[in-house]
Chain A
Amino acid sequence: MDSEREPKSQTLNRQGSLYSLTLDEVQTHLVGSGKALGSMNLDELLKSVCSVEANQQQQQQQEDLSLSRQGSLTLPRDLSKKTVEEVWKDIQHNNTNGAQERRDNNNSNNNNKQATLGEMTLEDLLLKAGVVTETVTGGNGLGENNIPQAAGPWVQYHQLPSMMPQGQSFMPYPPVGDMQGAMVSQSSLLMGGDTQTTPGRKRVASGEVVEKTVERKQKRMIKNRESAARSRARKQVTANCLAEDRVCVAFSLWCVLTLGVVMMMDEQAYTQELEIKVSRLEAENERLRRQKEVEKILPSAPPPDPKRQQLRRTSSAPF
């Protein structure tokens, strides 16, 4: 694995290109499909992100993505349970309780691959990204999550036969100094016919030879199994890192899309208000125009009587 040859900057660039690829995809889908953001097929978007990532992964083998993580990824429970429309409702109505019904509806849509963005919860998104997230719980993810989860595989692992040869065929080794030197001296001792605990083959009856052979085969098999288990563990560590990265990408994608939808809905609401105002003004305008027409046709109403009477009285006063 020549992964360490790659300079840090290149790793960062690759991470950046994954991110910018995501935004480009968003743009492409928005412009190309001509659909409103709320009805975009998120499934395709996710798949394209994951497939590009997989291709890059194959090229670089087990390159890490330079995201250092020393704890588990914890998503705020409130956020992960909400759909985009729920978020919008919260903003509009300033309440956080309206989500129950919609959440129930969404659970039944989990398997619907044509789910639109509005129906897809963050958890759906993460599940589709191929990451197991059902263990995510809110609050202090680190402490409470790690301990019960880790107990599982730990116990399972210890059920494997443990091969810790105690005082078997190795002579005492030099306490301090080069470990490689120590290893060489051990193997040379073995090959040189160490007689401390391993009986020489040629000096024993054939029955015991068979027994020793069987024993050696069994030990070999156990060692192979353990080596395979270690190899799988190494692969699992890398796979989990990649899975966590996918969660991060999916989450940021969700944030971007939610923001977009919220902004769009915001704009729609404003436009609607404007339109209502415009139609009111138009109606008002129309009304005033008709009134003006009417006034042109009919003469204006005569001045009220009290004024005329006043004039007459004035003129008749001096007589």
Chain B
Amino acid sequence: MAASVDPLVVGRVIGDVLDMYIPTANMSVYVGPKHITNGCQIKPSAAVNPPRVTISGNSDELYTLVMTDPDAPSPSEPNMREWVHWIVVDIPGGTNPSKGKEILPYTEPRPPVGIHRYILVLFRQRSPVGLMVQLPPSRANFSTRMFAGHLDLGLPVATVYFNAQKEPASRRR
């Protein structure tokens, strides 16, 4: 009877990528016209452009957004876990990533095999990051936990994830 209903736990986002945390901020994410709720299905072709993200918080706070895929290259053999798609730092509270510093440009989801989870994680910074950040050497084998540790970001304040799988070839063109 003690089954958790938290989609982040059921969907194994907490565990595979993140540690248990208490949400203290709000983040709303749109891919195209669609509002993202945890575990919803998105076509990769719809996510060619960066999702539109709005975050809560005060303008004197700064936030970091990370978008990552723990199921690379396939969920059954995620040897490249995680594949990082997007990193934006110094986003002022109450605004969106376009007001922050994009230190790793957005790349669209391109899941080759299986159904991948694409996770957007929001952290509240303790201080401006600016030039202090080291670009990860490769998008593959990224660790959100370690990245947060390096920048002293602490635990996340908000998380949203969606699922995506490869579209049939005939549809894309």
Contact = CB atoms under 8 A, between A and B. Distances in A.
A79 to B, nearest CB: 20
Contacts of A234: 11, 39, 115, 163
A233 interface: yes
Interface in B29-54: 30-43, 46
A252 interface: no
Interface string B1-37: 1111111011110110000101100111011111111
Chain A interface size band reads 35 or more
A244 interface: yes
Given A71-B23, A150-B14, A170-B79, A183 B113 contact: yes
A150 B23 contact: no
Interface string B71-86: 0111111111001000
Given A3-B40, A70-B160, A180-B112, A132 B3 contact: yes
A8 B159 contact: no
Contacts, number: 149
Given A4-B32, A180-B110, A226 B76 contact: yes
Given A175-B138, A179-B83, A72 B160 contact: no
Contact of A241 (B38, B75, B115, B139): B38
Interface stretch (A38-46, A60-68, A105-113, A116-124): A60-68
Contact of B158 (A7, A70, A134, A163): A70
Given A71-B23, A134-B1, A233 B11 contact: yes
Contacts of A4: 31-32, 34, 40-43, 46
Contacts of A170: 79
B31 A176 contact: no
A148 B5 CA distance: 12
Given A4-B42, A178-B110, A241 B76 contact: no
B168 to A, nearest CB: 12
Interface stretch (A80-88, A151-159, A262-270, A290-298): A151-159
A114 interface: no
Of residues B5, B32, B79, which shows the largest number of chain A Cβ atoms within 10 Å of its Cβ?
A: B5
B2 A152 contact: yes
Interface string A133-153: 011000000110011111011
Given A149-B4, A233-B10, 16 more contacts: A4-B31, A4-B40, A4-B43, A68-B160, A70-B27, A153-B3, A163-B76, A175-B137, A175-B140, A179-B83, A223-B76, A227-B114, A230-B12, A238-B39, A241-B7, A244-B5
Interface of A: 1-4, 6-8, 11, 62, 64-72, 132, 134-135, 142-143, 146-150, 152-154, 157, 163-165, 170, 173, 175-176, 178-180, 182-184, 186, 223, 226-227, 230, 233-234, 236-238, 240-241, 243-244
